[in-house]
A = this chain, B = another copy of it.
Amino acid sequence: MPTPEVLSLPFLNTTKPPSIDAFDRIGVGVVYRPGEEMFVQGDEGDAVYRVLSGAVRASRLLIDGRRQISGFYYGGDLFGLETGSRRHASAEALVDTRVLVVRRSSLKHYGAIGETLERALWSATGEALTRAQEHMMLVTRKSALERVAGFLDEMAERLGGDWVDLPMPRQDIADFLGLTIETVSRMLTQLQQDEVVQFQGCRRFRIRAPSRMASLVAA
């Protein structure tokens, strides 16, 4: 794994300009190429990350090789919030990605601003917990079609724009939704046949029928 390049601040952020807050003041910018890892499951490290641009995948591995994607992170998102000194998941750039990094243990040296940031991190942890529980609901109580539709809908909302580019391969979507790659593919085909979404190639899509999409997601 090549050593990630350390940037000089401030950034030019082309996608989602982060508000000037404690994270920007304290954080150090780092750039990752696709496939490069921020940290690996089992590592030591208490650093917290904020995505400036690009996309990140957090994954956990079981002994037998089964994999779970615990989340995807895009511009503005925080990740690496799990407590304890050991990482419970790995984090990896899906595309060219710029992040800000803050070492949690260093916050106490920054006085009031460090404290502000610490509070913000904890509250983000609580939100992450809520999101994890919502995702659990999605994964346990919904059909394959509903999960895939929900995923596309959330991606469209998160990344915005008319056409949306998926930064992750099918296998990642499958591992995130608790499905196989074949089932994801079949559901995508069905959503296209039903004219709910439209694809240009296998990564770029747009929602054609927002109302039917919404009814699938709400169900």
Interface string of A115-140 (1 = CB under 8 A from B): 00000001101111110111111011
**Inter-subunit contact B136/A81 (CB<8 Å):** no
**Inter-subunit contact B136/A82 (CB<8 Å):** no
Stretch at the interface among A9-17, A57-65, A91-99, A161-169: A57-65
A69 to chain B, nearest CB (A): 10
- Hey, which chain B residues are within 8 Å of A130, CB to CB? 82-84, 88
**Inter-subunit contact B68/A137 (CB<8 Å):** yes
**Inter-subunit contact A82/B141 (CB<8 Å):** no
Interface string of A169-185 (1 = CB under 8 A from B): 00000000010000000
**Inter-subunit contact B62/A137 (CB<8 Å):** yes
Categorize the interface residue count of chain A. 20 to 34
- Hey, which chain B residues are within 8 Å of A125, CB to CB? 83, 122, 125-126, 129
Interface presence of A1 (CB below 8 A): no
**Inter-subunit contact A135/B137 (CB<8 Å):** no
Q: Name the contact of A123 in the complex, choosing from B68, B83, B123, B136 (C-beta under 8 A).
A: B83
**Inter-subunit contact B132/A178 (CB<8 Å):** no
Q: Name the contact of A133 in the complex, choosing from B83, B88, B123, B141 (C-beta under 8 A).
A: B88
**Inter-subunit contact B140/A62 (CB<8 Å):** no
**Inter-subunit contact A218/B63 (CB<8 Å):** yes
The distance in angstroms between the C-alpha atoms of A132 and B82, with both chains bound, is 11
Q: Name the contact of A141 in the complex, choosing from B62, B127, B219 (C-beta under 8 A).
A: B62
Interface presence of A66 (CB below 8 A): yes
Interface presence of A188 (CB below 8 A): no
**Inter-subunit contact A141/B66 (CB<8 Å):** yes
Interface presence of A192 (CB below 8 A): no
